[in-house]
Structure 1
């Protein structure tokens, strides 16, 4: 086998791609190439949990996308960071580990995707994790991803008490028998360091002679033979074009933005779009790039009447002490991103939790011009909410034949009456929690949005002007049985072609009710089973 010939080529070393590379190379029987457009994950900030704040606008490790102007969000071009590094977005995120509601996956199965219901995916979730609770009916203890539960600031107790005043139950495990309730989020860290799939899966696998990891490798197009079989990838490696061949399969793990773009550049997409850019149509696939989904959130900021996490890292000497504690002990504020929050229903008429809450004992500002977040110069905290199952659907659309140009990212935020009503319901929920005795005793004032936001109209307008993405883009190459409305089948094989699969968050038929990194890793673990089973035939 030549240096450019492989059994499997994986495009994208993100949360899914790193898992695929480890699993497919584990037996030693297959020669695997993993291509990553970004850099290697060697930066200190990629290891330190709170280092994600330094990576929020980092041009080396972050694609720093923006959406198209969003009509229903006061024409905002919403900032959309994506990982451009080994580990992908899982190397720069806040590490909140949430599987999603059981109904989310039953909905996947009901959409024509046999084998993706909750009872099917639970064993896969358990397999990938080494959970703080140990081996139980709901969790695994032998997986590669370490799941931890860190202590939160004492002011979070007031938030919990306030939620109980409002009738919400305490929940010690959002990934356990039920999702509903408030508590502390699990995070994926190990010994005070980020435990992404790039660290937990790929790093040990890179010692294998049958696995090649190529960074700074931007895939230009998938190559096909006369029978529409994927046979390789054309790639810019440090700017120089190279061709790599795949004897078995090409697997796209480039994420919800770059995977549909690469399919379109390769001639798999809506014929009219491809013809517009004079791209030869290999397979008319109108669903490529459609069905894009994301979570929006809005934040309410407060000045506290007692100390918060701001008081631990507000001054330069405090930051130095905290950094030294992290460097020598892997403990302290820089060693965790632990947050309180939960999943609640805003109405008894709602069958499942429809709102995700975050309570952050830190209050900070994200500079619009870039750079690290700036801690507010006073004791403060933040509550933000995100509707769990938005119904707005958007698109990823090629803008030229130039692989260097980002596609048009149009989530079509807040396009439905359902999503607009959820925005109002979320604002009312925050205000209801803040009106309790438990929160009033620790609150000096609401600094934003303040008293000018007081009725449905002003709450909706506030959401339009101030909400932002939580960076959960998914669904743009959705799984389903109908090629007119989906891109891959239940085995994640691209409709209409051969030897090509998509394995990343773009295959989600519907967005999960929470953070999307955990279900993305689950998809990869399950997909690896499918690929290996196919190779044994």
Structure 2
């Protein structure tokens, strides 16, 4: 690091932060520093799609936050997996490219977030995208940095799953990011010839030689230095040594829905009474910091198979698949190493989604499927021997909301993450119906040739009460936390929709999934990149980038 003074300090090299760093550093007259608490992305675990099996729970790449006991889920503690390293969660996720439902963004606009409607954000998604899947230019872009492709070598069970949708009234959908999400299909992924494309590899790595761009790794931001309504610098820690980075223009928090509110709270921006109870001086009284946590709660149906068609470890797959996998991958970009494990999925409507809202032709899907051609453990193990397939189903627009709070341990570095899952009874009812819908799909005759015993929930679990008990014991997160620094115009809003500045602050913005007022209907990586792009445009439009 040649200087400790920069025009722009960006905290977090994840889905949004890397886009912001690219756009701001395009102006050679400004200096930009991108700060990441984790390390680099050079590991083959990151580059090879199937490597995600070794990333979740690996503390080198995953924060593995532990939530507080969930009182509506039998007091279970749920691990909150978040990416730690260049690319953030886009370096450890399943690479599924989903933008969400167009009505999600129109819903944001209806809440007072003017400029965030679907028609406002669609051009931004298109500008970021390099679509190589042959999809419609009405909905897709072809000149952006983010590769969007079809999976490299699709497992035949993924195609079986798509065909099985017909029995449940779910048509094949070739593009979940076009006119409608409804139906089943093969997911688009962010890859380049079988190699993961993260936000870092797409937006920062190609421009990392810019002399005005500094990327710091293994550097944790402790808190902001604040004078009146301006941020003057960041207190950081690297290799156990504390120092200060000085800010000449702006600080942008892109640390995600867990870390961005943590940094604000540690800096004295939050609910005055709660800060004072922790012994912190309140610099800005914003009760919404750390509130409004939303995430997709998820269930699983898993079935054993007597045939070695799925991805799995057995004598039958040793010679044709397991041993040749590295050679197939490096020589042909084929084989099991190319899988992201959730090659197929889709969107369905439960009985609660039958009535269309006023002004709409039909109701939106209310559950999402992630199909894996793997026998996922019904006992909580990371790996099960043998073969089978699993269908994960989540509530797309949960009503339950939680919090991210500072732990009262004197460090101001640790957080209490409370998803508060199932606090709203509607989420319970909807996920029960989602399990039934998943079973309906898996009951299709398309699976007859590979069908074995249902290991979870098991055939013995049939009534709503039994399914709910199963969900309380097993339901988890799909790793899509949002909303803890939400934009808006109400009393719990943290940032302004028109500039993403923290309310009451002159030069502090938040640009990541934490600003979402409501969770979008789908995976959150691509929407986070959109937020980074839109936020960077806001800065440039103010004339501060020149």
Q: TM-score range by the shorter chain?
A: over 0.9
Cα distance per residue 1:16-71 (max 9 Å; x no partner): 11111111001212100111111121211111111111011111111111110001
Alpha carbons 1:15, 1:521 under 8 Å: kept: yes
Matching residue of 1:179: 181
**Aligned-pair CA distance for 1:323:** 1.7
Alpha carbons 1:295, 1:390 under 8 Å: kept: yes
Q: Which residue pairs with 1:231 in the alignment?
A: 232
Change (3 A) 1:3 1:533: same
Higher mean Cα deviation, 427-436 or 50-59?
A: 427-436
Give CA deviations for 1:442-476 in whole Å, capped at 9, x if unaligned: 31221222122110001111111111111001100
Judge conservation of contact 2:74–2:473 (CA < 8 Å) in 1.
Answer: yes
Question: Is the Cα contact below 8 Å between 1:279 and 1:401 reproduced in 2?
Answer: no
SS at match of 2:292: strand
CA distance in 1, matches of 2:195, 2:84: 20
Tell me whether 1:349 sits opposite 2:361 in the alignment: no
* CA offset digits 1:147-206 (Å, max 9, x no partner): 111253223333223211221121100011211111111110001110011101111221
- 1:420/1:520 CA distance change after superposition, 3 Å: same
Cα offset, 1:277, TM superposition: 1.5
Task: Give the count of matched residue pairs.
Answer: 531
Q: Deviations over 1:84-136 (max 9, x none)?
A: 11110111111111000000000111111110000000000001111122661
Cα distance in 2 between the residues matched to 1:356 and 1:300: 13
Q: Partner residue of 1:295? A: 296
Match of 1:264 in 2: 265
Asked if 1 retains the 8 angstrom alpha-carbon contact of 2:66 and 2:417, the reply is: yes
Aligned to 2:163: 161
Residue 485 of structure 2 corresponds to residue 477 of structure 1: yes
1:426 partnered with 2:434: yes
**Quick one: structure 1 residues 134 and 157, their matched pair in 2 at CA, closer, same or farther if it must change by over 3 Å?**
closer
How large is the Cα RMSD of the aligned pairs? 1.9
The SS at the match of 2:260 is helix
Q: Which residue of 2 aligns with 1:328?
A: 331
Deviation at 1:305, TM superposition (A): 4.4
Deviation at 1:245, TM superposition (A): 1.2
How many angstroms apart in 2 are the aligned matches of 1:215 and 1:316? 39
Gaps of 5+ in 1: none
Greater Cα offset, 472-481 or 343-352:
343-352
- 1:252 — aligned with what? 253
| Structure 1 residue 488 corresponds to structure 2 residue 491 | no
Q: Mean Cα displacement is larger for which, 450-459 or 283-292? A: 450-459
- Which string of whole-angstrom CA distances, capped at 9 and with x for unpartnered residues, describes residues 396-443 of structure 1? 000147557420000100111110111111111122223333334431
Q: 1:401 to 1:449 in 2, by over 3 A?
A: closer
Which stretch shifts more, 156-165 or 297-306?
156-165
| Rounded Cα–Cα distance in structure 1 between residues aligned with 2:35 and 2:159 | 45
Matched position secondary structure for 1:382: strand
Match of 1:197 in 2: 199
Asked if the contact 1:32/1:212 (under 8 Å) is kept, the reply is yes
User: Is the alpha carbon distance of 1:311 and 1:358 closer, same or farther for their aligned partners in structure 2, counting shifts above 3 Å?
Assistant: same
Cα separation, 1, equivalents of 2:166 and 2:136: 30
In 1, distance between residues paired with 2:217 and 2:379? 30
TM superposition shift of 1:297:
1.0
Q: How far did residue 267 of structure 1 move?
A: 0.6
The answer to whether structure 1 residue 506 and structure 2 residue 509 are counterparts is no
Counterpart secondary structure, 2:257: helix
Identify if the C-alpha distance between structure 1 residues 194 and 465 changes in structure 2 by more than 3 Å, giving closer, same or farther: same
Q: Is the 8 A contact 2:406 2:415 kept in 1?
A: yes
1:502-535 alpha-carbon deviations (Å, 9 max, x no partner):
0010001000101111101110011110111121
CA distance in structure 2 between the aligned counterparts of 1:245 and 1:256, rounded to whole angstroms:
24
Match status 1:137 vs 2:142: no
Worse overlay, 457-466 or 305-314: 305-314
Identify the residue that residue 360 of structure 2 maps to in structure 1.
none
1:278 is matched with 279
d(CA) in 2 for partners of 1:397 and 1:312?
42
Work out which of the residue numbers 349, 352, 374 in structure 2 matches 1:362: 374
Question: Residues 204-253 of structure 1, C-alpha deviation per residue, up to 9 Å, x if partnerless?
Answer: 22101101111111111111223x11121111122111111111110001
| Bigger Cα displacement from structure 2, 38-47 vs 90-99 | 38-47
Query: Where does structure 2 lack aligned partners over 5 or more consecutive residues?
Result: 357-362
User: Which range moves more in the overlay, 146-155 or 431-440?
Assistant: 431-440
1:75 and 2:82 correspond = no
Q: Alpha-carbon deviation of 1:536?
A: 5.6
Contact 1:87-1:197 at 8 Å conserved across structures? yes
Task: Report how far residue 309 of structure 1 moved.
Answer: 2.4
Distance 2:402 2:3 in 1: 40
Alignment of 1:387-406 (within 5 A): 387-400=395-408, 405-406=413-414
Aligned residue for 2:251, secondary structure, equals strand
Alpha-carbon shift at residue 278 of structure 1 (Å):
1.1
Distance 2:517 2:314 in 1: 42
What's the TM-score once normalised by structure 2's chain length? 0.93
Decide whether aligned partners of structure 1 residues 467 and 321 sit closer, same or farther in structure 2, where only a CA change above 3 A counts.
Answer: same
Deviates more, 1:205-214 or 1:434-443: 434-443
